[in-house]
Amino acid sequence: MSEDKNKISEAIQLYFDSMYESSEEKVRQVFHKDAKITGYMQGSLMEQSVDSFAKFVASQTPSAAEKNEEKLLETLSLEVVGSTAVARVRDGYIGMVFQDTLSFLKIGDDWVIYNKLFHVES
């Protein structure tokens, strides 16, 4: 179980790094190809495929890393049940603070994000 939690924590870090570095490749690495990214942005429901989310992330140039922005990533909770897991994380991205609910699925030895629900905190 602790090995799974470590691997999920690594996936959470990869998820954050993908956005912080504006890396389309890392988005595609950490998300399952059929994942959905869903939440409300400025009062409107936003639903994205991994493809559109990866392209959006890549379009954020210069990246937060290039701008040397302060990093904000907190894992609020992590629950693992068999080959599934749910993590709640708080992260800073594009000038906002989000609370994300990340559903993970274990495929082979890898944990991938199968769905992401996001809430804009501020």
Give dist(CA 90, CA 118) in Å, integer.
10
- pLDDT-based confidence at residue 1 (cuts at 50, 70, 90): low
What's 2-120's CATH class? Answer: alpha beta
Q: Where are the domains of the chain?
A: 2-120
Q: From the CB of residue 53, how many other CB atoms can be counted at a distance below 10 Å?
A: 21
- What pLDDT, on the 0 to 100 scale, is given for residue 122? 83
Burial class (CB in 10 A: 0-12, 13-18, 19+), 90: middle
pTM metric for this prediction: 0.94
pLDDT in tens, 30-57: 999 999 999 999 999 999 999 999 999 9
